[in-house]
Amino acid sequence: MPLVGVTANRLIDDGDQREWVRRRYIDALEAYAKVEIVVLPTRSIEDKNGIWRLVSRLDGLVLTGDESNIDPEYFVRSNTPRPAPTEGAYRRAERDPFRDMMVSLVLPAALQKGLPILGICRGLQELNVFFGGELYENVSADRNMLCHKEDLSLPRDRQYDPVHEVSVQSGGMLARILGSSGPILVNSLHSQGIRWLASGLNCEAVAPDGLIEAASVSNAGTFQVGVQWHPEWHIADDAVSKMLFAAFGKACSDFESKRLIADRAE
C-alpha cells in the first residue's frame, strides 16, 4: 500500500511536549484513501539531505488541520536561516512554530518530488503562504465575511456539521474529482483564511462571501489540492469527502507504482 506522511502538531501540556494528530485523519485515510500512515514529527530539520531521504520514502503527503495559526516567518526565508522555535510555553490556539518549521522544510521537498498532496484547513493556508499568497488573520472579524467559526455552544461533533456552501469552479481539478461543478455544503471552521491567492495556485472553490475555500497547485500533474473545510470529520455520511479521499489515495497508488518501477530500474 502507498505510504503517506501526515503532519503532526506540537502540544505543550503541563510542561510536557507531545506530538499529536487527530485519529479522524488517520481513520479517513486508511478507510477511504486505502493508504498506510506515518506521522511526521514536528522536529526542526535543517538538513535538506535528511528531508529528501524522508520524503523519498513517501508516496503522498497530508497537511492536517489544527487550531494554531500560521506564522509566515517560517515560510518566507527560503535563502536565509529560519528562527529556531523556542521551547517555552505558548498558546497553541495562536501559534505552533514547531509545525511551521517542519512543514516549511517538508513541503518544498514533497513538491520537488512530485508527491500527491492533500491540505486540510491549515494545510490549505500553508500551501498558499508557501507559494507567496497572503492570509486574513481572522476572517470572521471582517464584517463583510461570513462567520467561519464553529458554534462553541454545540457538542463537539455538531460543531463540524456543514455550515455554508462553496461553489466548485468548473474545469478545475476539484470539479473533475467530484464529476461536476456547482455548490456543495462544507463544514468550514477556521480563523485564518486566504486573503490573496498565490500565483502558483488555482482557485477550486469559493464561499458565498468570496473567500477561496479550495485551491490546487498549478501544473502539478498529480493530486495537489487543499481545502478549507474538514472532509475527514463526517466522511462516512458525505459523498464529497469520500470522493476527495479516494482521489488522493488513487494518486498515491499511482505514484507508488511509478516509484517502484524506478527503484527496480536502478
**Residues with catalytic annotation?**
121, 230, 232
Whole-angstrom distance, CA of residue 161 vs CA of residue 150:
9
Instruction: Name the 3-class secondary structure at 182.
Output: strand
CA atoms lying within 13 Å on the CB side of residue 39: 16
Whole-angstrom distance, CA of residue 213 vs CA of residue 216:
11
Closest alpha carbon to 194 in 220, 166, 161, 158? 166
Instruction: Name the 3-class secondary structure at 36.
Output: strand
The sign one gets for the Cα dihedral 182, 183, 189, 194 is positive
What count of other Cβ atoms lies within 10 Å of the Cβ of residue 4? Answer: 28
Whole-angstrom distance, CA of residue 22 vs CA of residue 66:
9
Identify whether the C-beta of residue 140 lies closer than 8 Å to the C-beta of residue 133: no
Whole-angstrom distance, CA of residue 222 vs CA of residue 206:
22
Closest alpha carbon to 21 in 74, 79, 68? 68
